[in-house]
Amino acid sequence: MNDISSPSGKLPLCGHCGASFTRATAKFCSKCGTKKKGSTSPQPTLGSGSSSTTATGSSRVAQRGSKGDTVRKPSEAAANLRGTISGTDTRQEVSGTTNNRLPPIQSSTLAPIAKNDSSTLESSEEGTLRATPEEEAKYTALTTLGPDGITPDMLQTANANELGTWRKGLLIGRGTYGSVYLGLLENGAFYAVKCVEIGDKAGAFSVKELVSLSREINMMQRLHHKNLCTFKGVYFDATSSAICMFMQYIGGGSLSALVKKFKPLPPSVIRRWTRQLLSGLLYLHSQRIIHRDVKGDNILVDTSCDPEQEAQIKLVDFGAARRLSDAVAQSRTVIGTPYWMAPEIVDVTGQSSGYSYKADVWSVGCTVAEMHTGKPPWPSQVNAAAAIMMIAQSTEGPTELPVQESTPGCLAFMRRCLVRDPEQRPTIEDLLQDPWILGEVE
């Protein structure tokens, strides 16, 4: 489609939507993201098919080059982003994680995440979380692009046209990064649709926000496990300037809501659901991902399965995980409710070297306590600021464990999770072999 000149003759108009390019040298339309005719920069097709795989690989090679190279062309960085969002990630993957038979994780060899590290993370052969110069250069380049280099349309997946037919239903949740609605597609399928509004009233959007969302989308496309919510795709609603992320809809409600209705849960149910929670976290950790916000509100219970089988629980809300590098940089300021967070995350002294996978282990202990009483094992009458100080300064751990409500085996399990020193805290893999989880003790 040919581009045409604006009435003033100074700036060309987009041949797709008719909007004026912001400058003569712009390669992409700032409104719809269409490449200007005559631009030679590669633009891989969105989607998760084989064609996007080739585009992703070639764009990364062109962008990275040899070790230490930096990104020079915004158009190439934008093309690389589109390839990443398509669902193909060429970073090192952990072998053997496409099914439930996961490789063992030696958490003791994983280095903690430094609090001043604001770059994206990648796993090395020995499993240590670290940033490569190439990855750091890539995201640095993306965050310095102008509106002509990256647009919201680039975050859409190949099925965006199908998702664009959705009808908005009831508001079913609201979080720090957006609202979640019940959505209905034309094929009759229901989805939980997380809508993140971007930009201001004038229509300008933050490139950094788009890059951050691209990380979340790329991560969710890679995750496949029975105890994680399934990701469907992304659609950009230009009318409301919202990125709409479609996830599996779980009708049973959150774990915290069910506990309030049925507390205390039967001991056998607590054990089964805890085992499933550990299974989902083991998979996340094998993918070098820390959830960082494990709690009852972020665990959904799928009651649509066979009544003869146990209900499946699903971990949701990867907002903290998707912004792992950002969360590291912001770790001195706790985001959200801190009652489930490990002491090394809510550290107020600035002396902690950071946190690693074992931060999720602490949250598991608090969540198991929540299954008994409907609340975390801390005094609930204190505000968030006081809770941060209480968790950071406590030397013995939580003060309100459900001693009377829980069985001896479950109580011992919680105490294993809630060891204050992360070095002495067990891994998720260790907890899956706990006598209480295995049913050897009550």
Here the CATH number for the domain that contains residue 296 is: 1.10.510.10
In this predicted structure, the answer to whether residue 106 has a pLDDT above a threshold of 90 is no
**CA dihedral over 204, 206, 209, 211, signed as positive or negative:** positive
pLDDT of residue 319: 58
Q: Is 306 a catalytic residue?
A: no
Mean pLDDT of 256-261: 92
Task: Point out the domain boundary residue: 248, 267, 298.
Answer: 248
Same domain, 288 and 421: yes
Q: Which residue has the higher pLDDT, 190 or 382?
A: 190
Instruction: Write out the residue range of the structural domain in which residue 343 sits.
Output: 255-438
In this predicted structure, the answer to whether residue 73 has a pLDDT above a threshold of 60 is no
- Are the CB atoms for 314 and 111 separated by under 8 Å? no
Listed in sequence order, the DSSP H helices in 105-184 are 133-143, 160-163
Percentage of the chain surpassing pLDDT 70?
60
Its pTM stands at 0.64
- Are the CB atoms for 258 and 77 separated by under 8 Å? no
Task: Point out the domain boundary residue: 248, 266, 294.
Answer: 248
pLDDT of residue 333: 38
Give the CA count within 13 Å in the CB-facing half-sphere of 74. 16
Same domain, 331 and 237: no
Q: Is 220 helix (H, G, I), strand (E, B) or coil?
A: helix
pLDDT of residue 338: 80
Mean pLDDT of the chain: 71
pLDDT of residue 358: 92
Tell me the binding residues for ATP. Answer: 194
C-alpha Rg value of the chain to the nearest Å:
23
Whole-angstrom Cα distance, residue 159 to residue 182? 18
Q: Which residue has the higher pLDDT, 401 or 44?
A: 401
* 79-83, 356-360, 407-411: least confidently modelled range: 79-83
In this predicted structure, the answer to whether residue 37 has a pLDDT above a threshold of 50 is yes
* 10-19, 88-97, 285-294, 304-313: least confidently modelled range: 88-97
Mean pLDDT of 150-174: 89
Same domain, 305 and 393: yes
Same domain, 339 and 413: yes
Percentage of the chain surpassing pLDDT 90?
32
- Count structural domains, the chain: 3
Q: Which residue has the higher pLDDT, 35 or 381?
A: 381
Q: Closest by alpha carbon to 366, among 390, 342, 333?
A: 342
Please pick, among 3, 148, 293, 434, the residue that the annotation labels catalytic: 293
- Are the CB atoms for 277 and 227 separated by under 8 Å? yes
Q: Which residue has the higher pLDDT, 28 or 72?
A: 28
pLDDT of residue 134: 57
Same domain, 279 and 377: yes
Same domain, 228 and 259: no
Residue 103, C-beta contacts closer than 8 angstroms, at least 6 positions apart:
94, 95, 96, 97, 286
